[in-house]
Structure 1
């Protein structure tokens, strides 16, 4: 039995040995004593105390100049400046011809030409003609004028400028009363002829002594068709010495000499000289100009004031203005006929002296709206007034009021949006009083409202409109009867648009409301009328 068990155990052992497989994996174990560690990093020690908070408000002063333009309602003298041309820009001489016809037998022609290179020389030529014939007998006129002006600049600091022109006008005294009177056409004809010339020079930049100057010499010859002749010479020489940005000294000398011959060959001289020294002081918040004006009016000496001031408020868009100034209104046959074209030859010439005290403000609201208002108290000496003659009223006699006072309120407001839209409106109210020899201020308008609109609707379409409204002036007629024409209102509108390259079509509508008012007593204006035509523009590249 023992032998049998041993044999079975052996057989089982051999079978198990042949059934097992070798599943042992070979591995390599590496043992090392080195252990890598990171070096301790250096750290900033934030142990400083936090500084105490500063609650004080630092003063911040800003000086931002006003970015708006203030347009003076009264026209100011324009002085030509040197034209600075970019070297990358090619100067072109612009030229145009404007032709048109309209109602009331109206031919119209206008020409504009320019010459020069725009750097050393610039010459402009302008000519214009218009004539109209109304519905009333002899209600017709014509006017033709032409002028040439130029600016010439060399390599130095001197720039020359000049102008010469001629003006011819023809009209008839058609405002006689009663209208049943019979006159020959030649006896009612009135013709004015003017020849003018001006020359001057100026320094383009302030010289090393801080001085700027701009003297001019003007000559005018004026005549009518009734042997009336007048020669006028004006020398004007302003000089400014600038000491620094704040202080400047100004002095201006003017000599205005007139020689006038009436139809009877009577000679009348009217000479006016004055000197205007002043000191100008300017600061960011205010500016002051203080001076005097000694004058010699036909050898009569008068000392006139010349004080003006501007004060900017905290908001620089609002400026207070005030002044006490004295000045002259030179009365010549030419200037009187320009104001009232129906005057007879004056028998004497007196200059109007004006002393004005005024206060007001001007400024802007936003970036488009500007405003200006002024209250003035004026004292006139030898004010020129106009009364109808005592025969038929067709001419006006010039009378001089020795002393007169006036209270004048003037205001204006404007809105401008780039160069596409602009509107300017103004009002002037004048109250005349304290006259010595005349009961009323004959021929002077007490109330005037004006408005001007310019609108570029599209790139090739422009629209403009003007409106005038004024209260009738007082006049005295035959027998000393006082009369006052009705209030006047006049609305005009025009449009211009492109129909072809360089060719535009224009239309102008005048007195749209057909108000046949009388600015001057017995002289009715034309009613509604329309003028239209073409404008051809062309240019020639400068050399």
Structure 2
């Protein structure tokens, strides 16, 4: 029975399927709650919080070099007829003409022209003329010079420099006694002329091998207008080699070739040659130079020392110095006439050999004040001395002292404040002893003091002052008596101020104390004298 029911159900299902409508379209319906959306784009936030400030103070170490001048130990020599005309301070114009006149019939003219950029090349033309006529008969003085100097840097790390010029000096030998004596004017007239030239080259930075070199050649031709002539050629070739920051070496060749031709006499050769090798060590304020100088003075060999050392702090506040150094000075006719213009032409000329042993200290206090003291002993061979002739005393005989000692003490101090204030003073005390041919060092000063002050009071106002003082030198009278000149103090002052855009007015007063002192026996200098004039600027310096 059950079997029958199953068969009947299957038949019914089959019939129902066959009875469906096959034309009906088939569809599928899907229902879902998902809604698609795009992701939000990232945006810049303009209200971001600033970083936290760093309030810690960094530790910065600066090594600023001392900007003050490094003054030399030796003071400048006092000129016998000082007529120093100063511009009254730093002059900022590149091209100018300075003209003036003084009470001693003193015309003054000075001019300078500069061309080039002043950094890689430049040419300077410079000229000056000044003359005076004193109250004493035949007391006349004249000085004229002209120079052309230039430099240029090439593309191979080098710089050439040179100079060519001439100097004409005119004097009268007015220091004769008694003053009633009469001389032809041509017998008392002195006229020195110098034609000079110089050429030099140096490399601006060390080569790939650490070499620095700076050869220099100078030639002077000197004459006195009386058929006495002299030519001097000086060559200096220094070469240094840098090994490390502490060690270096230096070799210098120096040669001086002099030829003096007196009137109606044979020429005299005056030459010296020297070679100066040395090793240099420097570290933390310590500088040591150790070397020697083999030399030949007119064929005679001498081994000179070349040792000096400096021990100081890295900031240069104080440094102790010591040394033993030898050198030469060409004491020919040109040098002698520059030291004392009232000399007879010398019979012979020499090279002065100097060996100097010294010790001292130098340094600075703050950023404006510098100082230096030194004590030493120098041995001089072939030192010229000056003695009045026995006729009228108007001329000086040059005598040679083969050997003498000079024990000296020197001191210096200086103060600078930018370009507004500049002050420096130097003092040197000499004691001459152990002379072989003479009793005293005739004509040499036992004490010299110089002081110089420059102040920029306002933008266009400069004030200057110079003070010279000395203790008198030894001299001989006609009768052969040994005497000492009186000392003297010479003060001068000047000023310069602007009155228009390119015009300045200047004035200078010399020998303000009006002292008739004598640097050389029987030759009193000018009394109080003053000059004044104007300065015209032709073009403003392009670097200003």
TM-score over 0.5 (shorter chain):
yes
Quote the residue 2:268 is aligned against. 268
5 Å-filtered alignment, 1:140-539, equals: 140-313=140-313, 316-539=316-539
Query: Matched residue of 2:520: which SS?
Result: coil
Deviation at 1:171, TM superposition (A): 1.1
Shift of 1:538: 2.5
Residue deviations 1:459-486 (CA, integer Å, cap 9, x gap): 1110000000100000113231222221
* 1:540, distance to aligned residue in structure 2 (A): 6.4
1:67 aligns with 2:69: no
Q: How far apart in 1 are the matches of 2:111 and 2:63?
A: 44
Q: In structure 2, how many angstroms separate the alpha carbons of the residues matched to 1:470 and 1:247?
A: 43
Shift of 1:421: 1.0
Please say which of residues 227-236 and 293-302 is displaced more in the overlay: 227-236
What SS does the aligned partner of 1:108 have? strand
Cα pair 2:68 2:368 within 8 Å, conserved: no
Change beyond 3 A, Cα 1:74–1:113: farther
CA contact (8 A) 2:164 2:198 kept: yes
Deviations 1:254-274 (A, max 9, x none): 111011111223211101111
User: Secondary structure, in 3 states, of the residue corresponding to 1:426?
Assistant: strand
Aligned equivalents of 1:324, 1:132: Cα separation in 2: 44
Q: Name the CA distance, whole Å, in 1 between partners of 2:425 and 2:233.
A: 36
> Is residue 280–residue 289 contact of structure 1 (8 Å, CA) maintained in 2?
yes
Q: Is the 8 A contact 1:116 1:542 kept in 2?
A: no
Which residue pairs with 2:108 in the alignment?
A: 108
* Alpha-carbon distance, 1:202 to partner: 1.3
Gaps of 5+ in 1: 1-59, 78-91
2:75–2:427: 8 Å Cα contact kept in structure 1?
no
On the 8 A contact 1:313/1:320 being kept in 2, the answer is no
Q: Which has the higher contact order (CA 8 A, sep 6+)?
A: 2
TM-superposed deviation, 1:75? 7.4
Give the drift of 1:408.
0.4
Q: How much has 1:313 moved relative to structure 2?
A: 4.6
Q: How far apart, CA to CA, are the structure 2 residues paired with 1:180 and 1:528?
A: 25
Describe the shift of the 1:382–1:486 C-alpha distance in structure 2 as closer, same or farther (beyond 3 A).
Answer: same
Q: How far 1:203 moved relative to its partner?
A: 1.1
Pick closer, same or farther for the CA change 1:393–1:93 going to 2, 3 Å.
closer
Is the alpha carbon distance of 1:103 and 1:76 closer, same or farther for their aligned partners in structure 2, counting shifts above 3 Å?
A: closer
Aligned partners of 1:213 and 1:239 also within 8 Å: yes
User: Residue 71 of structure 1: SS of its match in structure 2?
Assistant: coil
Contact kept in structure 1, 2:75 and 2:448, CA below 8 Å: no
In 2: Cα distance, 1:134 partner to 1:154 partner: 50
- In 2, Cα distance between the equivalents of 1:171 and 1:141? 5
Aligned CA RMSD, in angstroms, stands at 2.1
C-alpha spacing 1:371/1:408, structure 2 compared with 1 (3 Å): same
In structure 2, relative to structure 1, the CA distance for the partners of 1:233 and 1:215 (3 Å cut) is same
- Asked if the contact 2:414/2:425 (under 8 Å) is kept, the reply is yes
1:389 and 1:395 in contact (8 A); partners too: yes
Which residue matches 2:80? Answer: none
What's the TM-score, normalizing by structure 2?
0.83
Secondary structure, counterpart of 2:288 in structure 1: strand
Distance 2:209 2:498 in 1: 52
| Residue in structure 2 matched with residue 54 of structure 1 by the alignment | none
Deviation per residue, 1:56-82 (Å, 9 max, x gap): xxxx998946535342235799xxxxx
1:213–1:341: structure 2 CA closer, same or farther, 3 Å change rule? same
The secondary structure found in structure 1 opposite 2:271 is: strand
Q: Report the CA distance shift for 1:437/1:245 in structure 2 as closer, same or farther (over 3 A).
A: same
> How far apart in 2 are the matches of 1:430 and 1:290?
28
TM-score, normalised relative to structure 1 = 0.84
**SS at 2:343 equivalent:** coil
Work out the CA distance in 2 between the residues paired with 1:175 and 1:427.
29
Cα distance in 2 for partners of 1:313, 1:208 equals 31
Which position in structure 1 is the counterpart of 2:117? 117
* In structure 1, distance between residues paired with 2:541 and 2:192: 39
More divergent stretch after superposition (292-301 vs 382-391): 382-391
**How has the CA–CA distance of structure 1 residues 531 and 380 changed in structure 2, closer, same or farther, with 3 Å as cutoff?**
same
Deviation of 1:154 (Å): 2.0
Tell me the secondary structure at the aligned position of residue 480 of structure 1: coil
Matches within 5 A, 1:3-82: 64=63, 66-73=65-72
